Structure 1
Amino acid sequence: MDRTRVRLAELLAVLSLASDLGMGQPMDHVLRQCLIALRLARRLGLSEADREVVYYTGLISWVGCHIDAYEQAKWFGDDLAFKTDYRHTDFPSASAERMFILRHLGAGRPAAERIRLGFGFLGAGHRVAETMLDNHWHASDRLTQRLGLDQRVRDGVEQTFERWDGRGAPKGIRGEALSMPARLVNLADVVEVFHRAAGVEAAVEVARARSGTQFDPAVVELFAAEADSIFADLDGIDSWETVVAAEPALDGRLTDAELDSALAAIADFADIKSPYTIGHSRAVADLAGAAAESLELPTAAQVRRAGLIHDLGRLGVSNAIWDKHSALSPVEVERIRLHPYLTERMLARSPALAPLAAIAVQHHERLDGSGYPRGLSGAAIGMEGRVLAAADFYRSRTEPRPHRAAVPTPEAAALLRAEVRAGRLDGDAVAAVLRAAGHRGHRRRTWPAGLSDREVEVLRLLARGMSNREIAEALVISRRTAGHHVEHIYAKTGTSNRALASLFAAEHGLIGETGAADLSS
């Protein structure tokens, strides 16, 4: 048996660490939550099949919580702080939800801007808030499907967003109609946060406070009676090792094809955090992989895989920073410079993924030592890292960012060559990336879901967070026509809002492609 192959449990555990970052939680929150849910499942005498559902549901339920981070930051300031506070709040009534929203609306902004946002929230913002939980479930469900997990796990993921009192999403399921795995994961998620902050008594207190509203009263009573033993060794064990060892499958190792497919799915989920990066990782991976092959690197496949997940650490930085249109503060810059390190820390937990971590962490390093996160220079940067850095630089310049427009591909190539002359990027790596980029200019004639060329153009702008008015101005069409295009896109793709349409675009590689309908080149 090839022990270098990645186990499904390892990949899901990495995803759980990314979920932690996206929710503003410390790494290992989801792993510890999974262990708590499994311990409750054993005390309840659940069957092996049900414990398997608890296991996979616990690891993957929250992975979609960053899909609308752009909207969260737009209305509520720091999306990570917003989601952190969400776990500390119960919502037993509509008035409790309204108070939570009002308390966070425009957080951290001047009073005048908060008032302006308040008026805007009465329209579009309120509708966005109402769809958030639905978006999170849809995104998590889609990834569950792409990773090949069975329907019972998908059902568990769906019901994790439900509540005992029926005030949850997406269907308002209540009481005994809720599956037991979903009840356990929902409880474990919250009590882990309170236990980490203030110990066993705080965890029991919050469980009892939400008994009959968010949580099943019978499960709460069992938890309260067993809390001391459930938490007894939680702080002293390696959560990663314990969770991976508890994987239900005898051999859940992925084939190369399955791993590539799974990493592509993870790339899409990392990129949709911001409208400005949708499709970025796929495009970088394709470019870096082709360049590595042209250089005859024996690790070309590893370079491509590292490209797919090189930006996973972006989930640990608020969209209030990523999507900021004005100059970043020194503190914000330092936060951004951490994201390759966060990528490395997540991937390095898995021995099989550690080689990808070593490549991915170098995508912002520079030969003269001016890069980050470690300021490596010269021979300390491997050829794989040099290729990935060149591919990331080139692709980033052909994509818009909040503070600048995309540049045409000839200008991006010129900027890349200038980096070589300045001694920051490797000449051979840059030449290989430019050769690879020069062979990616064909026009894609047939689009998924029957989308037209114009609808793909509109979808790309919609994914970037543009309103119908802004789309109309960019394409020199009427606002009404832009609205019709958006409605047609929703109907054809089976989506209902920007976040879900963006996920569709990411999954089908529509943002990173070049061609007649590509507005970023």
Structure 2
Amino acid sequence: MTVRNPCRELRLAELVAALSLGVDLGFDQPMEHVLRQCVISLRLADRLQLGEDERSTLYYTALMVNVACHSDAHEQAKWFGDDIAMKAGKYRHDGRSLRGLAAGLRTIGAGHPPWDRLRIGLEFALGGFREVDAMIERHAALARGLAAELGLDDATQRAVAASYERWDGRGWPAGLRGDQIPLAARISQFAEYIEVAQRVGGPEAATALARERAGRQFDPHLAATLTGDPDGLLAGLDTARSWDVVLEAEPALRRRLRGDAVDEALATVADFVDLKSPYTLGHSRAVADLAADAARLAGMADDEVTDLRRAGLVHDLGRLGVSNAIWDKPGPLGAGEWERIRLHPYFTERILCQSPALAPLGAVAVQHHERLDGSGYPRGLRGGAISPQARFLAVADTYRTLREPRPHREALTADAVAVRLSRDAREGRLDADAVEATLTAAGHRATARHSRPAGLSAREIEVLRLVAQGLSSRQIADRLVLSPKTVRNHTEHIYAKTGAVNRVAASLFAVQHGLLPVD
């Protein structure tokens, strides 16, 4: 499978909506939570008879609520254990109430032994409250910055930055009160909480929440609008496909990205996602560039290289769905933690598959942890089931990951990484052509061709290893997702190049030239 030009044109709304699905995961909410709150926001806009400009501002503000809350997940995990569980708690209590304060305090040091929890609690009492306030202020500033980088207008930027303000003036970052808060910010925040209440407890719970917080957190006029017609505002949310509804509701002046603008927007989102951990800053952009350079050296067509680079930019969106208590853990991971990590490429695919333009990128990105011998994840694909582009992405991601520090180890030297990748290629986990091209693109001296004796291609070496194991053409075809005829052709080429006349001779050639995997 090779992706061809999935992003000749990308609607900005598709990109922002896809990013919102990652935000859902980061708040432990079902995917399309943000999309559903956008639907509620637009229904409120209809009741309030907002003009097209106001509606456009509201549309993007609603999609970008909480978009920056992952940016200091490292610090959140330090104080509260599971940063995702902590953020999910915002919907259970008013954050400015005593009950909300008590609920937050109970999570301090979660996941740590009792004495560590006591130490973390004391540290939090000394400076943690101020740090949490500063976090929310940073979220607002970063969200505004992202809106600006995506080319959204000043009104939208101001509204996005005011998403944590409260009607009573006790919000963040500026303590705005009442009508000082942009209307789009008031509506989108109200819709955010109402969506959760409605989903969990139905219209009755949503109206009860609106009444309870009217005049404190919520604009009382918005609360009255909902309580006066809850069925009209909330009807059909459980049955409508929110993605389609939101994309169809995009403002009349639709923003379309083409050419370099697509790459710039994807790179902006990639940099933003990489903020989730101090260990991954700039990782996605570096992987994308290295994979593209390597594929170009290997002779991949220009349009395929472009699409590979774009897949590299979005390959780690699914990291938003895994807690930093796991990503930033300095010690060994437990079985359950590893299972969560193994899901993050799948999350990336699910985030991107909603968009016709982005789905083909997701089909490549989901394979960046697959390995040719079937030892990878999330699906344990083998051989030909892994696309050519994904093979280059896998090598580039491995190279960059090993060259970067992680909480459990220091960064490896370039030479050590080269040795590791060469071994993985020799043992059949990574594509040998992709490894050779990646090391060259990364500045290593080109490896000698004697690593692939007799002029064997990387695919022929894969077939030779299975022939040596005594597998039939049919079995090899099933393993590598090829036709039996193609396998027979490869086998004939192997015999011709190596001078072997049967399986035993071919197997001996493989042993003598170090082509078989070793333990």
Q: What TM-score bracket applies, with the shorter chain setting the length?
A: 0.7 to 0.9
Residue 323 of structure 1 corresponds to which residue in structure 2?
328
* Aligned AA (1:90): D
* Aligned AA (1:85): G
- 2:34 equivalent among 24, 30, 35: 30
Residue 418 of structure 2 corresponds to which residue in structure 1?
413
Deviation at 1:3, TM superposition (A): 8.8
Residue 350 of structure 2 corresponds to which residue in structure 1?
345
Mapping 1:96-115, distance limit 5 Å: 98-115=101-118
Deviation at 1:368, TM superposition (A): 0.3
* Aligned AA (1:54): L
Distance 1:110 1:310 in 2: 35
Q: SS of 2:10's equivalent?
A: coil
Distance 1:301 1:4 in 2: 10
Residue 199 of structure 2 corresponds to which residue in structure 1?
196
Distance 1:250 1:212 in 2: 34
* Aligned AA (2:74): Y
- 1:58 equivalent among 57, 62, 81: 62
| Structure 1 contact 323–402 (Cα < 8 Å) conserved | yes
| Structure 2 contact 8–259 (Cα < 8 Å) conserved | no
Residue 498 of structure 2 corresponds to which residue in structure 1?
none
| Structure 2 contact 367–394 (Cα < 8 Å) conserved | yes
Moved over 6 A (4+): none
CA-to-aligned-CA distance 1:410-438 (integer Å, 9 cap, x gap): 10111010110111000000111111100
Distance 2:96 2:145 in 1: 29
Distance 1:49 1:105 in 2: 43
Q: SS of 2:9's equivalent?
A: coil
Deviation at 1:9, TM superposition (A): 0.9
Deviation at 1:295, TM superposition (A): 1.7
Residue 426 of structure 1 corresponds to which residue in structure 2?
431
Residue 390 of structure 1 corresponds to which residue in structure 2?
395
Residue 379 of structure 1 corresponds to which residue in structure 2?
384
Deviation at 1:363, TM superposition (A): 0.5
CA-to-aligned-CA distance 1:439-484 (integer Å, 9 cap, x gap): 79xxxxxxxxxxxxxxxxxxxxxxxxxxxxxxxxxxxxxxxxxxxx
Residue 88 of structure 1 corresponds to which residue in structure 2?
92
Answer yes or no: is 1:304 the counterpart of 2:309: yes
Q: SS of 1:56's equivalent?
A: helix
Answer yes or no: is 1:21 the counterpart of 2:25: yes
Residue 154 of structure 1 corresponds to which residue in structure 2?
157
Residue 510 of structure 2 corresponds to which residue in structure 1?
none
- Unmatched segments (≥5 aa) in structure 1: 441-521
Question: How many residues are treated as equivalent by the alignment?
Answer: 438
Residue 500 of structure 1 corresponds to which residue in structure 2?
none
Distance 2:184 2:267 in 1: 28
Residue 361 of structure 2 corresponds to which residue in structure 1?
356
- 1:44 equivalent among 48, 53, 73: 48
Residue 338 of structure 2 corresponds to which residue in structure 1?
333
Deviation at 1:98, TM superposition (A): 4.1
Structure 2 vs 1, CA of residues 101 and 234 (structure 1 numbering), >3 Å: closer, same or farther? closer
* Aligned AA (2:392): V
Distance 1:128 1:251 in 2: 39
| Structure 2 contact 7–262 (Cα < 8 Å) conserved | no
Deviation at 1:91, TM superposition (A): 3.1
| Structure 1 contact 71–128 (Cα < 8 Å) conserved | no
Deviation at 1:250, TM superposition (A): 3.8
Distance 1:312 1:272 in 2: 11
Q: SS of 1:289's equivalent?
A: helix
Q: SS of 1:215's equivalent?
A: coil
Structure of greater Rg: 2
Distance 1:244 1:391 in 2: 34
Deviation at 1:97, TM superposition (A): 5.8
Distance 2:444 2:414 in 1: 12
- Unmatched segments (≥5 aa) in structure 2: 1-5, 446-519
Question: What percentage of residue pairs aligned between the two structures are identical?
Answer: 53
Distance 2:353 2:399 in 1: 26
Residue 128 of structure 2 corresponds to which residue in structure 1?
125
Deviation at 1:355, TM superposition (A): 1.5
TM-score for the superposition, normalised by structure 2: 0.82
* Aligned AA (1:16): S
CA-to-aligned-CA distance 1:483-514 (integer Å, 9 cap, x gap): xxxxxxxxxxxxxxxxxxxxxxxxxxxxxxxx
CA-to-aligned-CA distance 1:348-387 (integer Å, 9 cap, x gap): 1111111211111110000000000111001001110000
| Structure 1 contact 281–310 (Cα < 8 Å) conserved | yes
Q: SS of 1:254's equivalent?
A: strand
| Structure 1 contact 40–184 (Cα < 8 Å) conserved | yes
CA-to-aligned-CA distance 1:278-320 (integer Å, 9 cap, x gap): 1111110110011111122120011111111100000000011
CA-to-aligned-CA distance 1:25-74 (integer Å, 9 cap, x gap): 11100000001001001101111111111101001121101011000000
Answer yes or no: is 1:11 the counterpart of 2:15: yes
| CA RMSD, Structure 1 to Structure 2 (Å) | 1.5
| Structure 1 contact 194–206 (Cα < 8 Å) conserved | yes
| Structure 1 contact 92–213 (Cα < 8 Å) conserved | no
TM-score for the superposition, normalised by structure 1: 0.82
| Structure 1 contact 23–66 (Cα < 8 Å) conserved | no
Answer yes or no: is 1:223 the counterpart of 2:226: yes
Distance 2:175 2:90 in 1: 19
Mapping 1:449-464, distance limit 5 Å: none
Residue 473 of structure 2 corresponds to which residue in structure 1?
none
